[in-house]
Amino acid sequence: MQSRMRVRDQRPMGSKWQLCRRVFGMFRPHRGSALALGVLIGVEAVLDLLPALLIKRVIDAAIPFDGDIRSVNGLFALLVLTIVASGLLGVAIGFLNQSISQSVMFRLRSDLHDHLQQLSVRFFTQTRTGEILSRVSTDVNGVQEAVTGTYTEFVRNALTLTVALALMFSLHWQFTLLALFILPFWVFPTIAIGQIQRRLMREWYEESARLQSQLEETLSVSGSMLVKTFGRQEHEASRFDEHNRNLRGLSLRRMIAGRWFNMATSLFGGLAPAVVYWFGAREVIGGDLSLGSVVALAVLTQRVFQPFAAIARVNTTILASLALFERIFEYLDLPLDVQERPSAIGLDSIRGEITFEHVSFAYAPGAPAALDDIDLHIEAGQLVALVGPSGAGKTTVTYLLQRFYDSTHGRVLLDGHDMRDLTLASIARTVGAVMQDTFLFHTSLLENIRYGRLEATDDEVRTAADAAGLDQMIERLPEGLATVVGERGYRLSGGEKQRVAIARAILKDPPVLVLDEATASLDSRLEREIRESTAILAQGRTTVVIAHRLSTVLSADVIFVFDRGRIVERGRHTELLARDGLYASLYNEQFSAQLVEAEAAASAR
């Protein structure tokens, strides 16, 4: 709920006209094509209305029984030719319209995706995945339906309406004025209905996003296992039914609002010809109008009414689709917490020296500080261990080092450069990480490892896998490296997934390596094997390890002890033990048992 309210606060402000101008601005790069489309639509509008005049001439020519049959045949041939030409123009208009619309939607999807990729980790930790997917897929698809036909429909119907009214004025100006007087009484209610549909559309998509978020959570592998573990099937079914009932209610209300519009359309569509023929019959009897003119007026009235109705529908469609544009613009307008400066530089040669200068950081405004005035210096090539109780700030240090966030105060320096002065691409090349929660894609083992360096050859991938201790597992798999690991890697054990993450880092070969409890899920034997692999990986590079293993703290060049966001102790293992402070307490609690196990294992050999 908090994340949803937070995003709503970013909702684009302003009237529907301001939103419309922003939407129309998306078409600005296609001005030339749009102009050509308008010309084609204008020609098509004229061709569509010519049959009304040709029908008038056919009837007027046929009423006298001694009329010219060749003239009737010629008019009929011209009528057929006009209809065929109009149909061919319609094909060209449809192609050009789709080309423009799909280009606009391509750019909108790309802009939305690229913007989301640039948002900091803060956004993704505060927003449900299902909500994000709903905006990117469902909302954009809904917008596409509106964008694809709105421009063409509006221009076509506006031109058709203009030409039809001009022709009606030429036939009978009094009747045309009467039609113009009546039509607004039908248009204004449709605008009100459009406002209602806009509100209902937004509510429907928000409820749909909540439903999709629930499905994303409960139908994933982890979610479904959690539901089964606690026997919460009925609870989740109840939550789903609530969202489903809300969607049903909103859908019914949208349908009823639409039916009122359709009823008005049908009413005017049925009455308009009747009024024309009633009025025309009186004029024919009085000798003021020919029969052909009456038929032409009836056809033109339909041609006026249809575009007028279509323009009203376009207004309703625009008003309803504005709800979707609002939701999409909410995300496009979210500020970037971590931005690359225009003057940012890319470092090609990295030694790996790291400095934190009076760094403070909080995950949200007003939240307690995760780091409070941190000062630390790591020489290039050092192995550094971060130790401390849970929530002390160790992982936050690694986040700032990868520039997932920017510090609230102070500076993080890499080889003497403020990381905010470096390009994001160079930081990504410099820092490699093996995080505690390893994420794998639903693809082959080979492609998951190759994600560390996309241009790597198959042999390089296999070498990295062997170095990470995956060789025996790969031999057991029926398809070897081509084996699909399943969603989030659920076909692999926790230790196997972490070794895949280590293989990625080995393949990437970064100057700075972050290991966030990288061997926490492994037993002693596997941990020893991985330790050998990571020892090889750590050679010649700066390595920052969140240490939960005795072997790590014993071999560390420097140990930083964190407590409540501050560094309370620093030094080597023996120095910190001699101080008998927090580190000694943690060592006695966490590492002494590991030491006993190691000594027992050594004596058993």
Is the pLDDT reported for residue 484 higher than 90? no
Is the pLDDT reported for residue 193 higher than 80? no
Is the pLDDT reported for residue 335 higher than 70? yes
For the stretch 115-152, pLDDT in tens is 888 888 888 877 877 778 777 777 777 777 677 666 67
Residues 6+ apart with CB under 8 A from 300: 49, 52, 164, 167, 168, 171
Q: Residue 265 and residue 190: Cα distance in Å, rounded?
A: 9
Q: Which position has the higher pLDDT, 547 or 220?
A: 547
Residues 6+ apart with CB under 8 A from 227: 218, 233, 236
Q: How far apart are the first and last CA of the chain?
A: 57
Interval 42-61 mean pLDDT: 72
Q: What is the pLDDT of residue 151?
A: 62
Q: Residue 332 and residue 300: Cα distance in Å, rounded?
A: 45
CA atoms within 13 A on the CB side of 450: 16
- Least confident window among 42-51, 80-89, 98-107: 42-51
Report for 76-80, 474-478, 525-529: range of highest mean pLDDT: 474-478
- Least confident window among 8-22, 83-97, 351-365, 476-490: 8-22
* Fold that domain 15-332 belongs to in CATH: ABC transporter transmembrane region fold (1.20.1560)
The torsion region of residue 355 among left (phi > 0), alpha (psi -120 to 50) and beta comes to: beta
When the pLDDT of each residue in the chain is averaged and rounded to a whole number, the result is 78
* Bridge partners, 417 (sequence order): 414
Is the pLDDT reported for residue 67 higher than 80? no
Going by the DSSP 8-state scheme, the letter that residue 235 receives in this structure is H
pLDDT band at 12 (very low <50, low <70, confident <90, very high): very low
Is the pLDDT reported for residue 153 higher than 80? no
Q: What is the pLDDT of residue 7?
A: 43
Residues 6+ apart with CB under 8 A from 198: 16, 319, 320, 322, 323
For the stretch 19-47, pLDDT in tens is 778 887 888 888 888 888 888 888 887 77
Q: What is the pLDDT of residue 418?
A: 93
* Domain covering 354-438+513-604 in this structure, CATH number: 3.40.50.300
Q: Residue 410 and residue 359: Cα distance in Å, rounded?
A: 4
* pTM attached to this predicted model: 0.68
> Containing H/E element for 543?
strand 542-546
CA atoms within 13 A on the CB side of 276: 26
Q: What is the pLDDT of residue 396?
A: 93
pLDDT band at 357 (very low <50, low <70, confident <90, very high): very high
Q: Residue 514 and residue 436: Cα distance in Å, rounded?
A: 11
Stated length of the chain: 605
- Least confident window among 202-216, 354-368, 371-385, 441-455: 202-216
- CB of 537 within 8 A of CB of 506? yes
For the stretch 319-332, pLDDT in tens is 667 777 888 888 88
Percent share of the chain, pLDDT over 90: 13
Interval 473-502 mean pLDDT: 82
- Least confident window among 171-180, 353-362, 396-405, 427-436: 171-180
Q: What is the pLDDT of residue 601?
A: 56
* Domain-wise residue ranges, the chain: 15-332, 354-438+513-604
